[in-house]
Amino acid sequence: KAGVTQTPRYLIKTRGQQVTLSCSPISGHRSVSWYQQTPGQGLQFLFEYFSETQRNKGNFPGRFSGRQFSNSRSEMNVSTLELGDSALYLCASSLDYTNTGELFFGEGSRLTVL
Amino acid sequence: GQNIDQPTEMTATEGAIVQINCTYQTSGFNGLFWYQQHAGEAPTFLSYNVLDGLEEKGRFSSFLSRSKGYSYLLLKELQMKDSASYLCAVLNRDDKIIFGKGTRLHILP
């Protein structure tokens, strides 16, 4: 069974640009959540999608957005990049809502903003 | 506010036992998770506690006391491959999973 796949794995952007990250969940998993991981703050919840609907949202500015497609694949977008957006962005999938089972994480997309 | 505290780093010896503590103050509580994350890799699920008490799974056990807002992860018969970060996470009443900053565990031969 293939795991959670995130693309791209590494990317470098400059301030003011925008970026789109992609996540393909495990086949059959309907819930996808996104996290930002930095050395100082640890893992911080961005948002969760279930059946193409945003079910929950963390405390990030509106520059961070996401969506989920009918095949459960998800994308997140960050506009007007800032230096502080440099981080590892992790996607996690689960069969149902995240509160009913374990999360399966992808390897992450490491974003560097210059 | 939401707060999850765990030690930043711990060191233990191969073959020994180590206990990683986690205290939490969150808006409601619907369960507590422990994840393991090796450097440069994705976090992987270790355990889930929703009721008070001890859950044992092989060399790893996790304990929860909801009244004290406290959990610990117990690792027995430590192996070098257990060197990793251990993340405590709480599912709050808004169905958001709040993670602690993680405990980096170093295993010495």
Are B31 and A99 inside 8 Å of each other by CB?
Answer: yes
Residues of chain B with Cβ-Cβ distance to A45 below 8 Å are 96-99
- Mean pLDDT in residue range B82-87: 97
CB-CB under 8 Å, B42 with A108: yes
Nearest Cα neighbor of B29 from B99, B73, B86, B95 is: B95
Q: What is the pLDDT of residue A99?
A: 63
Most confident of A77-86, B27-36, B89-98: A77-86
Strand B31-37 vs strand B84-91: parallel, antiparallel, or unpaired? antiparallel
pLDDT at B2 over 90: no
Q: Are B1 and B51 in contact (CB under 8 A)?
A: no
CB A16 within 8 A of CB A113: no
pLDDT digits (tens, 9 = 90+) for A18-74: 999 999 999 999 999 999 999 888 899 999 999 999 999 999 999 999 999 999 999
Q: Rounded CA gap, B84 and B6, in Å?
A: 14
With contact defined as beta carbons under 8 Å apart, do A95 and A29 qualify? Answer: yes
Q: Which helix (H) or strand (E) holds A104?
A: strand A104-105
Closest CA in chain B for residue A42: B101
